[in-house]
Amino acid sequence: MSNIRGEEKPLSKVFSSDYEFHIPEYQRPYAWTGEHAEELFNDLWTFHREENSHEEYFLGSIVLASGERGRQYDVVDGQQRLTTLTLLLSCISHSLEDGEASRDFLKFVREPGSAAEGLDPSPRLFLRSKDRDFFRKHVQEPGGLNKLAALKPPDFKDSRFSIVNNGQYFLQQLSGLTQQQILGFGQFIVRRCKLVMVSTDSLSSAYRIFSVLNDRGLDLEPSDILKARLIGAIPEPVRLEYTERWEGMEEELGRKAFNDLLGHVRMIFRKQKAQRSILEEFNEHVVKQVPDQQTLIDEHLQPYAAYYSQITNETYSGSDHGEKINDVLSWLNRLDFSDWIPVAMEFIHQLRGDADRLLQHLRLLERLSGTMYVRGVYITPRIERYGLVLSALHNGENLLEPESPLNLREEEIKDTLYWLNGRIYEYAQKRRKLILLRLDSFLTSSGASYNHVETTIEHVLPQNPRPDSEWRQIWTEEERDDWLHRLGNLVLLDRTKNPEASNYDFQTKKEKYFRSSRKGIALYASAVDVMNYDEWTPATVMARQHKLLEAFRRGWDLQP
């Protein structure tokens, strides 16, 4: 029978001589992105800075399987956190100028060795063999961070890119702190940040534990616990009525969406990123701010549930602007994040009686959110910005004024145009597709629908033209490299057309773009636009680039 142990430990005990962590070869590579690293750092720093007590910060649980040696463990679940925390601790050690303090923090990254205990100097964490030596050389060895800081992240791919990118981000953030701040932050991390260590001497048992911990099918959701607390406190004569109303909201939205709703309502009240569990924050910043449980359901949960449904299903009605409002919501719903939803909910809550102003506010929200997506703004600064918008709204400020947090600052407009003028095709797939779709909406004069067919992004100048094609005669290698992936050379197509047109010369390619089952009318304005050109030269693409950027300037009012 497997021996299963579980214990909560501070990081000073996790990264100690009691454990030597090994990432098995079958695990996926290290994959935390810059956004993950930024979120972890900001969460830890905010909690450390704002907490006056000695409250502990919970980092979750990891699952381990014992190895052949007593202190050696295979990491079944938790390698992303362990790797990132090792990286952060190494950066703290590197950033401390006091030699003794720096060595003290390095011991959490690397076992210094002990003759008395028979321990050789070695890393506390061993990555998969492919990345092990790189991580040891640049992160775990004394002076390794000097080498990492000098590297260029674009020169690496996959896991090594993440290691370099996240390490350089931590170094940059720490460089803005004083030595005393770095030391205090490091002490907070090793003393007050805790992990639950679940370990077993059987690998199969470890995987069963991992499956149970990650199986959400039967777990209680925050809404289940809140329901018991809130409904249970409602007087008996009306308790059944409120139970039915609660369950009606949950059934209407769906279980996951209803739990998301609770988080959005918390944001409306709190106006900051959550630092603790949704249960703690909802109770502290929502439940305690309303007179009683019935008022909470009557005046907040039920109305916001209705707004949330209208927003996510794009079914706003009740005014002449309903179609225009739903069009704006459709663009917001295409974004890869939902941080904007609390703001949209509060706009509907406060402005539903004034359709003109509601539409104006939602258009500015879509502009702000869309341009943040184009610029790749991470979650923490996004939520901070939406918190400022909610605060200004609740303070009665005019959000339509140029200086309001709902409007773009001049540097944000310039940054958006910079990214739109870049190598769009090299951006993440969803990001580049949204840019092209939004551009198409700015190019067309009528309200086009973009849900009717799958789309693909096509290069007019091909990525790999044949050696004997006209493209090789018209374009130099340098010109191709400069313009190939930029907006001026890209076009949206019906996915079924893409294979037909990939490497043809320009005149033939135009016909392939324009041929459609809809009596010769192409589906996308960007494809029709290509028909206006008789040739496709560097000068043509440069002119088209300027034209398309102007379409964005007009559509999103990007005028610095």
pLDDT by residue (tens digit) across 388-408? Answer: 999 999 999 999 999 999 999
Q: What is the pLDDT of residues 167-181, one digit of tens each?
A: 999 999 999 999 999
Residue 242 has pLDDT above 70, yes or no: yes
Alpha carbon of residue 14 to chain centroid = 28
pLDDT digits (tens, 9 = 90+) for 508-547: 877 766 555 444 445 688 878 888 888 999 999 999 999 9
Residue with the larger pLDDT of the pair 217 and 510: 510
pLDDT at 116 over 70: yes
Query: Which phi and psi (to 5°) does residue 531 adopt?
Result: -65, -15
What is the C-alpha separation between 525 and 442, in angstroms, rounded? 9
pLDDT of residue 123: 94
d(CA 49, CA 41): 12
pTM equals 0.70
pLDDT band at 216 (very low <50, low <70, confident <90, very high): very low
Q: Look at residue 435 and tell me whether its pLDDT is greater than 60.
A: yes
Residue, of 219 and 525, whose pLDDT is higher: 525
Q: Average pLDDT of the chain?
A: 87
Reply yes or no on whether the pLDDT at 312 is more than 80: yes
| 53 pLDDT tier (thresholds 50, 70, 90) | low
pLDDT at 244: 87
At residue 31, what are phi and psi to the nearest 5 degrees?
Answer: -135, 5
* Of residues 121 and 169, more confidently modeled: 169
Choice among 96-100, 139-143, 233-237 with the minimum mean pLDDT? 233-237
Report the pLDDT value the prediction gives residue 488, as an integer from 0 to 100.
Answer: 95
pLDDT at res. 1? 47
What confidence score (pLDDT) does residue 520 get?
43
**How many Cα atoms are found within 13 Å in the side-chain-facing hemisphere of 167?**
29
pLDDT interval class at 159 (50, 70, 90):
confident
Contacts for 228 with CB less than 8 Å, ≥ 6 apart: none
Q: Which residues lie across from 123 on neighbouring strands?
A: 110
- Of all helices (H) and strands (E), which one includes residue 457? strand 455-459
Q: Which of 79-88, 418-427, 490-499 has the lowest mean pLDDT?
A: 490-499
Confidence check: pLDDT of 500 > 80:
no
Q: Among 67-81, 187-201, 342-356, where is mean pLDDT lowest? A: 67-81
Q: Which residue has the tokens 């140029």?
A: 402
Asked if the model's pLDDT at residue 267 lies above 50, the reply is yes
Residue 533 in contact with residue 544, Cβ under 8 Å? yes
- The confidence score (pLDDT) of residue 223 equals 83
